[in-house]
Structure 1
Amino acid sequence: MKMNTREVILIFLLQFQVISGQNRYKFVRAGDATILPCMQSSCSSTDWLHSRNGGPLMDVVKNNTVVSSSPGSQRLRLMDDCSLLIERVMAEDAGYYGCDRDQQQILEVLLTVLTLTLQESDPMSDGRMFLKCSVAFYEDRLQCNSRSLRWMDEEGKELSSYGVQQNGCVSFLTVSPVSRQRKYTCQCVKGGHVEVEARYTVVSTEESTRGPGGPGAQSPGRNVLIFVIRAVVAALMLIFLIVAVILVKLKSKRNASQGP
């Protein structure tokens, strides 16, 4: 794809700033709203450009107007000070953003998005569930390692490596069934500092909460009554089946004795 002079200049400046450490990083949790600042007194000729995964630069705002054909345009809005508002942030929103005015670069932002979801449980895993925490960012600028993502329990204690599987910027936590709600937090850490975190509350299924003394537990008397009712119904069905068989045999004998 052939790039125009403006795109070439922007890519060159982006690469220079990444090396020199002058980028503005923005970390946000998926589902939240975020504002990319580009504070100007006039937005009559303001453009916003976006690049995902090192791909080509695309206009998301052109001459103070959101480009309707750009991905996620319905969630974008240009503020009065030319800053870009992104509502309900998604992983695909991550990447490089550049704010231009009169075709001159004003600001660059590298947006990183943290997503935390509950994966479907494996029927063969004894009811265990899996939480997936992932980070979407611009190319390899975050440099994920084994300490880039960490899991915390509801008491703020870091969970051990047991039950945690991490591959790059994706980490899975194995959650065992419990008799109450449990909260787990995934944190994105950069340079020893927590940049953004997401929390997930695991709600036990009805079956798992019906342990002794657990929420929704049934009393022993109620359990006995249910057992008796089921036994009576089964006995009545058996009696009905036996009577039906006897009646069929009696009818067959009567027909045989009467003859043709």
Structure 2
Amino acid sequence: MFLFLTLMLQLTVTETGQFTFLTVSDGGHVALPCKNAKALKRTCDSTFWLFSGSARTETVPLVVSGETDRTQISKSKSDRLSVAKNCSLLIEKVAVEDVGMYGCRQIRSGQQDGDDVYVHLSVVTMSQCTDGDAVTLNCSLSTYGHCRHTVKWLYDGKDVDEDNRLTTSQADCSVAVTWLELRGNDTRWDSGFQCEVTDDSTGAVRRFPFTPQPSGEETAKSSTPAEDTTSTGWLRLVIVSAGLITLVVVVVTVDIWSRTKGNKTLMDKNTVDIDEDEDEGSVEYENDGDPSASVRFH
């Protein structure tokens, strides 16, 4: 166990080690070759796969004796890993977190057999955004260590810089292309774009076609806000109408109440005048009979 841990803790790149550089698109799948596996072996029980996300992170064992080591990695990642019959490491639904250096090592009878072989895995990510009439496609490459690739957009197999209707902006291992979407124009520019990635050290070139979003989904998404707006408008109309009806009822009620109160006051006043004229006298005056003085009713 001590020897195993000693061998597993280090993923040292040696001059005699073999290197493979692979680039895959986000969401794709890839097979990392283990070139030091014996061609006639029927099992991979001596195969170990190690992973380093960057030079500053610790080496993590992914495969131990031909089996995925689920104790060292998350379940979401381990579920995407498997070992092929030729001891290659298979990765499904590749994500940016998979970028790094992978080492394949053979250990037999407690001793390392041969040199490690290494695979540098890079991942391409493409996206589209719209701002008014301007449409922008972005292509970025995530790599292990510093960027040593050239990334550019092609349209119909030609460099987009050759088309004056398109503008590009370049950054380290990423590129963006922008154009204006003309209204009433049925041409879908994004259907002919490819992101080309060139490994400057090996000269290897790979092209990744950009897959535009289906027009039906775009239409459905754009119509959703309109439906919401219509529903909101009807709701506001109902609320405003109910408020107006309530206001009318309140105004009419107050008017009727005010008229009723005024009539009652007038009737009370007339009653007092009649009682003052009667001989029986239901009203007494104080302060020597001065009618301007206070009135006490019996």
| Shared fold per TM-score greater than 0.5 | yes
Query: Given the superposition, is the C-alpha separation of residues 198 and 25 from structure 1 closer, same or farther in structure 2, using an over 3 Å criterion?
Result: same
State percent identity of aligned pairs.
24
Superposed counterparts of 1:1-260, under 5 Å? 4=6, 10-13=11-14, 16=15, 23-38=19-34, 39-40=37-38, 41-42=40-41, 43-54=44-55, 55-68=57-70, 69-71=72-74, 72-102=77-107, 103=112, 104-118=114-128, 121=130, 125-126=131-132, 128-140=134-146, 142-144=147-149, 148-153=150-155, 155-160=156-161, 163-174=167-178, 176-177=180-181, 180=186, 181=188, 182-183=190-191, 184-191=193-200, 193-202=204-213, 205-206=218-219, 252-259=254-261, 260=264
SS of 1:200's equivalent in the other structure is: coil
Aligned twin of 1:215? none
Query: Given the superposition, is the C-alpha separation of residues 152 and 17 from structure 1 closer, same or farther in structure 2, using an over 3 Å criterion?
Result: farther
User: Quick one: distance in 2 between partners of 1:185 and 1:195?
Assistant: 10
Compare 59-68 and 191-200 and name the one that shifted more: 191-200
* Offset of residue 206 of structure 1: 3.5
RMSD value, Cα: 3.7
Query: Given the superposition, is the C-alpha separation of residues 256 and 116 from structure 1 closer, same or farther in structure 2, using an over 3 Å criterion?
Result: same
User: Quick one: distance in 1 between partners of 2:210 and 2:123?
Assistant: 14
SS of 1:258's equivalent in the other structure is: helix
Check whether the contact 2:105–2:116 (CA below 8 A) recurs between aligned residues: yes
User: Quick one: distance in 2 between partners of 1:127 and 1:170?
Assistant: 23
TM-score scaled by structure 1? 0.66
Pick the structure with greater CA Rg.
2
SS of 2:128's equivalent in the other structure is: strand
How many residues of Structure 1 are paired with residues of Structure 2 in the alignment? Answer: 217
Check whether the contact 2:8–2:50 (CA below 8 A) recurs between aligned residues: no
Check whether the contact 1:26–1:110 (CA below 8 A) recurs between aligned residues: yes
Check whether the contact 2:16–2:115 (CA below 8 A) recurs between aligned residues: no
User: Quick one: distance in 2 between partners of 1:70 and 1:88?
Assistant: 16
Q: Which runs of 5+ in 1 are unaligned?
A: 211-229
Normalized per residue, which structure has more helix?
Answer: 2
